[in-house]
Amino acid sequence: MKSLLFAIVPICIFLVLSLFRPKSKLIAFVIMLYEALFIICTSAGPDVQIYEIQYNNNLYGDLPILFKIVFDFFVNMHFSFYAFKTIYALFVLTTIYCLLANNSEYIAFVCTIAYIFPLTSFAGQIRNAMSIVIVLLGIVYLLKSESRYKYFFYIVIIIFASLVHKSSIVYLVALPATIDKKRDFFVLTVLIFTLLIFIAYPTGVLFKFISLLTNDARILKWVRPIRGISFKVTLNLTFIQLIGVFLLLVAKNELIRQKICNTVSIKYFSQSQVDKLLNINIALFFLLPLYYEGNAYFRIFKYILILNYIPIVQAIFNKKRNHVLLLLLVLYSLGCQIMIYRIETWEINKNVFDSFDLNNIVKILER
């Protein structure tokens, strides 16, 4: 019952409020405040429990260097794990709030959709969340900056984020996807390569081809054909990613029709910036074959949705409200959350919500 209360009720309230006041920064602030409360007061989830053990027993020597430094700092300050989670929650959610406030006119509704999916993952994926907020800032900088050194600074930002979570290095694909003279060729190459691998993997064609080149079992285990549950999971995740990119494409065309992309304002992505964001999404299609190995790779794409929501929501609310796109976006975010819950097993995610306990706030002051 508790899981139902803390999962569904806030979504309904935030949706209704943000539909009537999509530009309200107060509603957006309340949403982020509740998300922070959710992060602090939930204690279940495999990743969080492991981090708590590592934190309390100084067993984090193998973690990436920057995350290890963060842990060291709070341990040496004799902060409890819950105090660390509180500061972590404030850091990631304040960063997300500022990013959305500076790039979206309809911040309340963007925050609502992001809260539905994927912000609730911040409760369990601490390292991932800390790195992704740095990555998102880097992508927005790459899209909007006119500096001749922006590509260099973007690389520095991604390397910095990878010191928290090594998967962040994957976002370097945004470079060729946004360079004007190279991006079309790069995107086409990624699409063709992904399609070939995606088909060749489950059919065994890729395994047979690699077998002709090497007999090394360490290599062959990565290309061995997969069936059953893993194949179904891959199709589900592929479907989510394709629909997410499709909604961005629809929004881009709607903004062009409304002549909004040409508006010079910090609150909008220009047409070229939306094009580049779309290309980044398409470049991430190379992840699709990796889903055969596990759903953890999906994290790399799902957090990009936070940026995708900005032009999509702009296309919904600007001028005459686009009710069809509005319905599709709400159903998409809810569908993503439900599908991910089914993939990761409902019991694990239910336990996260059931672990919600306001008494955990008291533990912040423990040493």
* Residue 63 host element (H or E): none
Tens of pLDDT, residue by residue over 135-190, are: 999 999 999 998 989 999 999 999 999 999 999 999 999 998 888 766 666 777 77
Tens of pLDDT, residue by residue over 49-106, are: 888 888 988 888 788 999 999 999 999 998 989 899 999 999 999 999 999 999 999 9
Rounded to the nearest 10 degrees, the angle between the axes of helix 107-116 and helix 323-343 is 30
pLDDT at residue 1 in the model: 52
Show Cβ contacts of residue 218 under 8 Å, excluding neighbours closer than 6 positions. none
What is the Cα–Cα distance from 278 to 291, expressed in whole angstroms? 21
Q: Which two tokens stand for residue 116?
A: 């539905």
What is the Cα–Cα distance from 86 to 227, expressed in whole angstroms? 42
Quickly tell me which residue has 């902060």 as its tokens: 79
Highest mean pLDDT (candidates 15-29, 266-280, 291-305, 342-356): 15-29
Rounded to the nearest 5 percent, the helix, strand and coil shares of the chain are 80, 0, 20
- 3-class DSSP state of 164: coil
Q: What percent of the chain has pLDDT over 90?
A: 48
114 with 133: CB under 8 angstroms?
no
* Residue 223 host element (H or E): none
Q: How many CB atoms lie within 10 A of CB 95?
A: 17
What is the Cα–Cα distance from 38 to 121, expressed in whole angstroms? 11
pLDDT at residue 348 in the model: 47
**Is the pTM of the predicted complex or chain greater than 0.85?**
yes
